Structure formats: C-alpha cells, structure tokens
Structure 1
Amino acid sequence: MDYEKFIFCLEAVADVETDSTTEVVKNLEDLAFNQGIDSIYKTCDTIEGLEESLNALLYDDHNFKNYEIIYLVMPGEANNIRINNYYYSLEEIAELFEGRMKGKILHFANAKILDLTEEEAQYFLDITGAKAISGYGEESVKVSSSGLDKAFFSLFEDTDDVVEIVEELHQKYYTACKLLDFRLYY
C-alpha cells in the first residue's frame, strides 16, 4: 500500500447538537484500534449540513485523496435518503457531489436500501465521478450491516479493485452478503 487510506463517515441524526455515541462511532473506533483504518466521523441534520461536511472534507482536508470510502449512514428508501424527515433523491445528491468524488466509493449502511436501476446508478457515477456506489438491498433495524461494513472496509487495505474486493467479501461472508443483499454498482 503506497499511502494510508481513510474512511469519511457521515451519519444523519435528528439533531447535531445532541452529543451521543452511536453504534457507527463504536464500529469506526474498532476499525481504527484493531485494523489501523482511520476515519473522520461527522453528523448532519440538514442537507446543508451534509453539503458543508463534504465541502470541508474536499477543500479543507489535505488528505482528501486518501479517503477512498465515503460511508453514508442515512435512512431512506431505494433511490433517496432522508435527513430530518426530508427526502432527497440520489440524483439530487449526485448533483451536490458533481465531479467531486473521483475515485471514491460511496457506501451506504443498511439504514436504507440501495435499489438503483442501471441508468440511475450510471447517472450517479457519471455525475459524481465516483468509482462505485455500494449498499444493501435489505434494510433492517434488527440486523445491522456494521459487521459486514467493517469487513468490506478492511479489504480495501490490500487492493483497490472493487470487483476483487466484492468477490472476496462474498467468499468470506457469503451468508451475511446474501442476508443483507450486498450490492455494488460500478
């Protein structure tokens, strides 16, 4: 590995002023402590907060090239996210990120399902410049994707080939991949 890689995590919460340690924070701390994968964690409660956080990452963080994964923990439905009871389509999100995600993988936790048509996925990738978008076809409040998310992130330490990573993820964690319906659009 020629440079250290990081995860940028953005979680939608009801109120950014409320300070609480979520399961996501605990899992990111576990990744850092046990696997040496560092991350930046931010919360947002508005679409403006989401945009401000991404702009800060893009323009103020000189290590941005090292953030290979943008990890989005947000509720929603197949083709949208929900922030503070407002829905935003992935097309709208793509326009916010326009051209600024070159080489990045946007990964959604299973707080929302990711169910895109081929055209929707291609539009998102073309507009944002992202390498891939991944997530799950099964939303569940009972079964968190956090364990599989951690496994997915750790595989990036060895290679950048998303297809190879997903194949290895399915080989090692087949049951979880099937249960949560892991999906990758690239």
Structure 2
Amino acid sequence: MNTDGIFRRLRGVVGNAVVWGAAWSACALVVFAGLKVAGQLPASTIWLDSILIAARFGFAGSIVGGVFSLVVGLLYHGRRLSDISAVRFGIGGGLLAGLFVPTFLTAARLLSGDGFLTLEGILLNGSLSALFGGVAAGASLKLAQHADPLLGGGTSGMLGSGDRLASAVGEDRARRQPVR
C-alpha cells in the first residue's frame, strides 16, 4: 500500500471518529434532556451536567467510530456505497458498539484495579452504546450515500479502494459496462 492510501484511510478513520463523536454527543444530550424533563434524574442534577455527559459520550463515540471504521474497511473493502443497506449497516454498528464499550470499560476497570463492571453497568452501557452506535452507523452511511453523487461518484463511491485504476475497473463492473 502506498503512502497516499495509508493517509487516505487514516483520514477516513479520523473523519468517522469525529462524526460518531458528534452523533453520540448529540444523542446523549437528547437522552439527558428527556430524562431531566421527565423527572427521572435527581433534583440536584443541573443542566450544565449535560455538557460533561455529552463530552464523555462524544469521547467514547469517537473511539467506537474509529474502531468501526477499521472494521468497515475490512468487511466492505471495494464495495460501492449504494450497494450497502443502511439498516444492516446500522445493526452492525449497534452490535459492534454494544459489545465494544462494555468490554473496553471492563478492561479499563480491571487495569486500574477497580474490578469487573457490574451486570447493571454492562447492560446499561451496552444498550446505550448499541442504540447510539446503530444510529451513528446508519446515519453516517446515509450521509455518505447522499454525498457520493454530489462529489462525483467516481472513486469516492468505493470503500477502501486506494488504486484509481482498480476503482475505475470496479466501477465499470458495477455498472456492467465494458472497460475501455
């Protein structure tokens, strides 16, 4: 793999991490506001706490988004964006996030000497992460599918394809046109 391909993939991982971090932060704000308005949070909880919670979720979302981007690069290498189902992609993102976050938190707790994460903590973190991961994955794919025609389709419609000639051949095969 050439240097341009490595930097392009790295840029994709970082870009996906930023998008997921923003999406998870926004989801956390919505959930916090809903719980606060419904009276499900202690009275001592103030609205400024939502900023701290959103920042924590944004950080976790960016880590999961980077990992998800690496997994997508392996599983969907060379496939066109238009051929990928947003629902299946969202389910995959939800599963990955729902499994990764409790595992990551448990490993971090064990390394710091705090012991295992409680079952309640695993279920809560896993379910929220699965929900946020599914939303972020599906939304990021739909965003990419929408942006692909605006950016000219071309090689940007191919996932993980760093070689322009290979991308053009793959694009022609996808359209069932002979290569000229």
Structure number with larger C-alpha Rg: 2
Structure 2 length normalisation: TM-score? 0.27
Structure 1 length normalisation: TM-score? 0.27
Between Structure 1 and Structure 2, which shows a larger proportion of strand residues?
Answer: 1
Between Structure 1 and Structure 2, which shows a larger proportion of helix residues?
Answer: 2
